Amino acid sequence: MVVLTISSRVTSGYLFSPEAHLYKLHCFSDRYAEGISRRGNQAGVFVTKYRKTRKPEQQDGESYLHRNDAHGGISVIAVAPGSPNRTLSVTFILLIALAVHGPLLLMQLPAGSYDAYVHMFFASHYAHHWFNPWNPKWFAGFSQTTYPPLAHQLIALSSYIMGLSLGYMFVQLIAVLLLAVGIYRYARLWVDETAASYAALGSVFLGSLAMLVYQSGQLNTTLGAAITINGIPYFYRWLREARFGDLLKSFLITVSAAAVHHLTLVTIVLFSFPVIWLALVDRNNEAEGGEASTVGILVRAIVFGIISIAGIAAVLLPFWISFFNNPVTQAPIPHPSRTNYLLNLHNGLNFWIIPYGALILAIPFIFLRGTRERRLQPLFLGWWITTLIGLGGTTPVPHWLFGRFYYVFTYERFTFLATCMALPFAGLLAQRLIARFNTKAVVALWIAAAATFAMGVAWLTFSPIAVTPFDTNPIASFLNRDDHSKFRYLTLGFGSLFDKVSIDTSADSVDGDYNTARLLPEMTAYGAAKLDSAKYYGVSGMESLRAMLKHASQYGLKYIFVRDRYYEPLLAFAGWRPAETYDGGIVTLWVKDDVPPAQPMDLGTKPAAWEGLLWGTAPIGVAFLALLAVLLIPERRPASVPIEFPSSADVVLREAK
């Protein structure tokens, strides 16, 4: 016995029967055409929704699944065990994600990434001073309200149980798992259940995800995108069905995503507009939630936009206060993602080819299906715009869209978003290849996915962006003893390990690793990201360092730890002397004897007590409410009609209401 389930989300599909018999079942109405056909030694059942009673002709060489897709149908009937195309369960996909990313995260491989210790540094402060966002450890004092706190607060909470480093890995794992679930739910808006499951599985092996997690350490980007994508299906249902539960869920999830990183606002816009277009395309499709008017959809989109803006403004109010009180006026800081990838092939490899991986082979299919099928056109346009933005300085599109903020963004995050948008197309392509080439296609797709992910992880070896690890414990120990923390310090040549020193010591530094928070004039006047890597920014970087050395007494800067001998002549000329060496002479401590103890600096407005209270409750609170809403507010479950097949009785397939 074979059971078919037809629901309100079911508009087309097929099922292969293990018997080699031709079963006949036909039912034509003004909207539906069902039937059975035999292909080779297998019998297939298909159920397709049409606007007319006409049954479309099948192209030679295509299965019913392909024919239905070509006419805008969505395959949703589960495939029998013997068939090559089968829907993968979300549980299976999550287990694959755990198997792939779990060991790498337990090995703490992302700890060597560019930004991982930055996030741990912010989280370390929240773990000790939850309601006080003022942090004196960087830039002679700065407010952490300049950076939305949700990801860092989650790490801080996790650190109480498993420590800071494992807490970071745990939150990163949550982001990976949320992304897989989100891609599945997002892809279901565009393609059938089987293709969506393939898309979700593909998200586990994205080269762009591997690059962001294991090379760049951009937890904020991956977590913010994962939360955003999970909220988009609720937004679509709000547009189509006007259910308050969907509005509430999409609102809370969207605000939670914005609380991860302020640039998530761009992610929300890029993913929302194609869905608004899709809702307009589906406005007369009863299977997609009933008929809806164009005006109604647009009004609901505006309502969602207004309340979301208000919610984000309220939850992140301390951020906006800090932003307007201390606007970013610093000189632009160069970043390789803003270069022309055609003229700099290494950057093209690093920021586009390796992140895309085997998805590059799917681009012709994306153009073919995305331009020809009406329901896929919104997704195609969203993907195309995001891809152009992700190319950085290769095209003028980012300049046109962002204006002067072009120099604030880095563009590898947009390539990641573009690959996420490409996954529903990739799922469709995988479904078609498996249906046509069976096991050969399955093997080829697994190899392509594994190679894409492996290359993204291995790129750390071919193109390292972090310094060779060394022991920073003696440096932290020196700063923590004998009242050395009364003075400020600086590191040169430490790379991301400067952030680790900042975590381990109670001393303050004039340097820092978060550009937006910088208020020291010696840094904002020059286009250098941080003093630790001044030489890589040419004249601007060295001038910034020279200005800081000149004002050492003003800032209480007494200790400089040097791992790069390039800077030693400048230090000697400025009146510093070597005092100690660490780690077998790799690191040298330079001191200046006539520097007074450091004093608090009045460079920015410290957050008020009420801002600290709001900062410590609103972001984490709205995330908790979003989780409760998803778990407790029931979703509309489509009714199902089980039927036996084959059946001696007359059987009518009809859509459940």
Pairing of strands 488-492, 32-39: unpaired
Give domain limits for the chain. 2-83+640-645, 90-113+148-464, 126-143+467-607
The whole-number average pLDDT for the span 330-336 is: 73
The whole-number average pLDDT for the span 54-61 is: 35
Amino acid letter for position 478: F
- Residue 379 makes CB contacts below 8 A (sequence gap 6+) with 190, 274, 278, 370, 421, 424, 425
Choice among 314-328, 486-500, 564-578 with the minimum mean pLDDT: 314-328
Contact yes or no for 88/201 (Cβ under 8 A): yes
- Size of the chain in residues: 657
- What pLDDT is recorded for position 38? 35
Return the structure tokens found at 116.
Answer: 């991982």
Tens-place pLDDT, residues 165-213: 999 999 999 999 999 999 999 999 999 999 999 999 999 999 999 999 9
pLDDT > 50? residue 9: no
The single residue listed with the structure tokens 């952030």 is 499
Distance, CA of 59 to CA of 250 (rounded, Å):
41
CB neighbours of residue 385 within 10 Å: 18
Distance, CA of 89 to CA of 94 (rounded, Å):
9
Largest CA distance in the chain: 99
Question: Which residues, listed in sequence order, are joined to residue 36 by a DSSP beta bridge?
Answer: 45
Give the CA count within 13 Å in the CB-facing half-sphere of 390: 27
The whole-number average pLDDT for the span 545-552 is: 91
| Confidence band of 473 (pLDDT split at 50, 70, 90) | very high
The whole-number average pLDDT for the span 333-337 is: 81
Instruction: Please give the C-alpha separations between residue 346 and each of 96, 496, 503, in angstroms, as whole numbers.
Output: 31, 22, 33
Instruction: Indicate the average pLDDT of the chain.
Output: 83
Pairing of strands 2-5, 577-582: unpaired
- What pLDDT is recorded for position 431? 93
pLDDT > 50? residue 353: yes
- What pLDDT is recorded for position 31? 33
pLDDT > 80? residue 56: no
Distance, CA of 42 to CA of 64 (rounded, Å):
12
Q: Where are the alpha helices (DSSP H) in 603-656?
A: 609-632
Pairing of strands 557-562, 488-492: parallel
| Confidence band of 376 (pLDDT split at 50, 70, 90) | very high
Choice among 66-70, 148-152, 333-337, 555-559 with the minimum mean pLDDT: 66-70
E-assigned strand segments in 81-137: 134-135
- Residue 546's Cβ-count burial label (10 Å; 0-12, 13-18, 19+) is middle
- Tell me the percentage of the chain whose pLDDT exceeds 70: 81
Return the structure tokens found at 410.
Answer: 């880095």
Distance, CA of 491 to CA of 571 (rounded, Å):
12
Q: DSSP letters along 168-217, please?
A: HHHHHHHHHHHHHHHHHHHHTTTS-HHHHHHHHHHHHT-HHHHHIIIII-
The whole-number average pLDDT for the span 126-132 is: 95
Q: Residue 10: left (phi > 0), alpha (psi -120 to 50), or beta?
A: beta
| Confidence band of 469 (pLDDT split at 50, 70, 90) | confident
Report the Cα 11 to chain-centroid distance in Å.
31
Give the closest residue to 262 by CA, choosing from 606, 496, 516: 516
The whole-number average pLDDT for the span 224-240 is: 96
- What pLDDT is recorded for position 13? 38
- What pLDDT is recorded for position 515? 79
CB neighbours of residue 332 within 10 Å: 12
The single residue listed with the structure tokens 């894409």 is 452
- What pLDDT is recorded for position 65? 37
Highest mean pLDDT among 24-28, 173-177, 240-244, 289-293: 173-177
Distance, CA of 133 to CA of 147 (rounded, Å):
10
